Structure 1
Amino acid sequence: MSDLPRKAVTRTAKLAALPLGFAGRATWGLGKRIGGKSAEIVGRELQQRTADQLFKVLGELKGGAMKFGQALSVFESALPEEVAGPYRAALTKLQEAAPPMPTRTVHAVLAERLGDDWRELFLEFEDKPAAAASIGQVHRAVWQDGREVAVKVQYPGAGEALLSDLNQLSRFARLLGPLVPGMDIKPLIAELRDRVSEELDYSLEALAQRAHAEEFADDPDVLVPDVVHQSEQVLVTEWIDGIPLSDVIADGTQEQRDRAGQLLARFLFSGPARTGLLHADPHPGNFRLLPDEKGGLRLGVLDFGTVDRLPGGLPPTIGRSLRMTLDGEADAVYAMLCEEGFVQESVDLEPDAVLDYLLPIIEPMLVEEFTFTRGWMRGQAARVADPRSPAYQLGKRLNLPPSYLLIHRVTLSTIGVLCQLGATVRMRDELEEWLPGFVEEEPQEEEHEEEADDPAAGA
């Protein structure tokens, strides 16, 4: 496969074959069990075959199918180990690579968008792509002023393919649900579909990336490459080297894992506070670890095609409710959740039960430092996915307001990556520094009283 399949009938046929394949393998597995093979062995074989088919199709199609695969990949750590194993290698491939566009197609897009003399803009241009993503691929080049750059070229027909894939995927979302226990796949697909027009618009991506590059220009911990040039379907940014986070997950040292995890958490919470934007595509392919000037490591951040616009930073409600949950203020937490729409008017819950539901989830904030593991993530997923669990019954009655949907997904995705890294992170430090409302403000009345008691105050 060397081109983006554009005919709707071809793409639909490939995607439609997935649920049929799942069903066929389930029947095959039943036959194996009747024949005497253990359910555990058969289960592993089924998962391996399912993984091979699912991610082969998603990777080949790119578009919305690959976008969904990337979004799903960060939740791999929630799967039971015997299930996760077969998926892990296939997921990692999705995070970093996909079949490339033909060179002639790349040149045609560049000529159309940059002009027939587009080569004069570059001192060098590598025809072989350095990376491929869901709606475009990246070529390494040298800009006319000598800077090394990344040239992102959008696949022709990407918008149509993106919408077609996500519409098709939503039709059999239930079949995909078991891939991530405790997660409703359909809202994830709907939210990805809602963001299509933004991600296809490279002018919006350029604005978001410039805002981050300017804010983090002198930051010792985070590097955001600046935008060099932008036009429709083509985005040129500064090139950054470094170790892809997927490589750190696969075989990085513990020092690399911990540093990457700490900086990932820092970027998650500091980005909205500093830029009013939330980077909303935190899969490992969008991050790099690279050396800083002092011999340490800092985080390189790529791809600002999907952002949540939060002019005031993250809502203070999140910080306040987290703080009150940690302090065990069940009634106050429940009242705030009702006020914000997490508990609908027709639902009546016990505040203490809600607190018991939330506390295990925010365990990383209870301690000075917390080691995120796949085991911890699996435990959380099992707790909220088991129909026999009180947490499952309570979770079904909670509501996620639309304004929090993307924040929720990004936070869950980031935690998924931290668990893949197995990183030890001082999460509470980042919350205290960057999350509005997490640190309780001193009452202003006390300041006024002190001024009144001070004879010099009225002089």
Structure 2
Amino acid sequence: MSDPREKGLSVPASRLGRLTRLGSMTAGVAGNMALGGMAQLGRGQRPDWRGLLLTPANVTRIADQLAKMRGAAMKIGQLVSMDTGDVLPPELAQIMGRLRDDAHFMPPSQLKKLLGSQWPDGWLRQFARFDVRPIAAASIGQVHRAQLRDGRDLAIKVQYPGVAQSIDSDVANVGSLIKMSGMLPKGFLIDPYLAEATQQLHEETDYLREADCLNRFRKLLAGVEGFVLPAVHEDWSTQTILAMDFIEGRPIEEAVEQDQTQRDLIMRRLVDLTLKELFDFKLMQSDPNFANYRYDPISSEIILLDFGATREISDDISELYRLMFGAGLQQDHKSLEELCVTIGFINKNTPKNHREQVMEMIHLAFEGLRVPMFDFADTTLTQRIQAMGETLARDGFVPPAVPMDVLYLQRKFGGMFLLGARLRAKLPVADMLAPYIEG
């Protein structure tokens, strides 16, 4: 059977159209759950609402509809699905996991209409080539390769129509779906996180802002060995179109085919970049999606892409993390616990047993980092920490409302760890941290 994405699929651009699709999806899922619950009651059983939500039919309905809609609805699904210590339960990640793949792309007719609304009349005559089939398609936009008649080879990022205008309603509707699931810990308030997601998505749909962030990183990394960033072409960029250099490269995951030395070099550069972002630049590209990194198999240079999720890091957060890393590696348990309270991992209302379990997980993590050479591929430690986290969740632990900067940092760290594990890298992480800890 042919993949419907081969021919493209129009993006629903109007608010009403998107609202109708989300409402229909939610009603369909609720209907399936109600029918299943009635059947269980008829058999004298208490309805298992989690099990009823996670039926293959419901998982397929939700993932497919969000993928077709793209935009904020799909983006929220992707954020939920990332296995990087998110605040939501793992059951919801099962629903959204399919959204990590490329989205459907716009058909050429919709693409042409959109470009015509942003570029001057006769724009196509200035191109020697414009590939209507995208080289990448994601939640907010898709990327096309094109060549101007003046010889410039471009990667052109085109935002889906109606995405920016529908963010508020999309997030609200997906939030309703999450609340309907009944899987949030009792007492956990998701609304502040949805509000922050809304703000972030509004920023990510401003391609002029992204161009500015890309230019800032080009200046910060000028002269830093190992990184390549595309240049912005302002004459073809608008609020919803971002024109950049096209840079040839391979997906970062394919670096696993390189030898250990090359894999370690690539991962060392990325970990060091993350530390520079946190402690030196105070500016972080906070989305660790693998698709945002490519590499040159000959030079091992890393191509950095997609700066829509760039965030400023406050001096206070940067300093707290410097102190926390220092206390953790130096086994100063008292200071480490105080810092974890200040940062927000635990608070005065966290029950004593939960507080002790959280701190034990953090101690274990630092125990792993203190070794001379950290093996990202060794899952023993992560499996222990994950099992402890699952025990905490079953015991009713409610995560405190931590600052959003902390959540983004943890997500970035988690993404780097996942990539390190994929590449089977081995790094002296404690030694890499030492210069930053010493200030």
Q: TM-score, normalized by length of structure 2?
A: 0.78
Letter in 2 for 1:307: T
Could you tell me which residue of structure 2 aligns to residue 268 of structure 1? 274
Could you tell me which residue of structure 2 aligns to residue 234 of structure 1? 241
Asked if the contact 1:377–1:416 (Cα under 8 Å) also holds between the matched residues in 2, the reply is no
Q: In the aligned structure 1, how far is the partner of 2:290 from the partner of 2:75?
A: 13
Q: Secondary structure of 1:218's partner? A: coil
Q: In the aligned structure 1, how far is the partner of 2:195 from the partner of 2:170?
A: 12
Written as runs of structure 1 = structure 2, the 5 A alignment for 1:44-443 is 48-75=56-83, 90-93=98-101, 97-119=102-124, 121-174=126-179, 188-229=193-234, 230-245=237-252, 248=254, 252=257, 255=260, 258=264, 260-291=266-297, 295-310=298-313, 312=315, 315-340=318-343, 343-344=346-347, 355-367=359-371, 368-372=373-377, 377=382, 379-387=384-392, 393=397, 396=398, 398-433=400-435, 436=436, 438-439=437-438
Q: In the aligned structure 1, how far is the partner of 2:340 from the partner of 2:93?
A: 34
Asked if the contact 2:210–2:307 (Cα under 8 Å) also holds between the matched residues in 1, the reply is yes
Shift in alpha-carbon separation, 1:344–1:265, aligned structure 2, 3 A: same
Q: Secondary structure of 1:150's partner? A: strand
Query: Which range moves more in the overlay, 422-431 or 188-197?
Result: 422-431
Shift in alpha-carbon separation, 1:121–1:80, aligned structure 2, 3 A: same
Shift in alpha-carbon separation, 1:264–1:198, aligned structure 2, 3 A: same
Asked if the contact 1:260–1:299 (Cα under 8 Å) also holds between the matched residues in 2, the reply is yes
Structure index of larger Rg: 1
Task: Report how far residue 234 of structure 1 moved.
Answer: 1.3
Task: Report how far residue 371 of structure 1 moved.
Answer: 1.9
Q: Secondary structure of 1:6's partner? A: coil
Asked if the contact 1:166–1:193 (Cα under 8 Å) also holds between the matched residues in 2, the reply is yes
Letter in 2 for 1:3: S
Task: Report how far residue 85 of structure 1 moved.
Answer: 9.2
Could you tell me which residue of structure 1 aligns to residue 3 of structure 2? none
Q: In the aligned structure 2, how far is the partner of 1:378 from the partner of 1:31?
A: 37
Task: Report how far residue 320 of structure 1 moved.
Answer: 0.9
Asked if the contact 2:375–2:424 (Cα under 8 Å) also holds between the matched residues in 1, the reply is no
Q: In the aligned structure 1, how far is the partner of 2:350 from the partner of 2:258?
A: 48
Asked if the contact 1:48–1:87 (Cα under 8 Å) also holds between the matched residues in 2, the reply is no
Asked if the contact 1:337–1:343 (Cα under 8 Å) also holds between the matched residues in 2, the reply is yes
Root-mean-square deviation (Å): 4.2
Note the alpha carbon deviations across 1:373-432, whole angstroms, 9 max, x for none.
667545433322324778x74xx3645134433323333343344445554444334423
Shift in alpha-carbon separation, 1:135–1:323, aligned structure 2, 3 A: same
Gaps of 5+ in 2: 1-7, 44-50
Task: Report how far residue 233 of structure 1 moved.
Answer: 1.4
Note the alpha carbon deviations across 1:210-254, whole angstroms, 9 max, x for none.
111233243332222121223221111111222224x539x8567
Q: In the aligned structure 1, how far is the partner of 2:106 from the partner of 2:214?
A: 25
Shift in alpha-carbon separation, 1:46–1:355, aligned structure 2, 3 A: closer
Q: Secondary structure of 1:297's partner? A: coil
Q: In the aligned structure 2, how far is the partner of 1:313 from the partner of 1:239?
A: 37
Percent of pairs with identical residues = 24
Q: Secondary structure of 2:11's partner? A: coil
Q: TM-score, normalized by length of structure 1?
A: 0.75
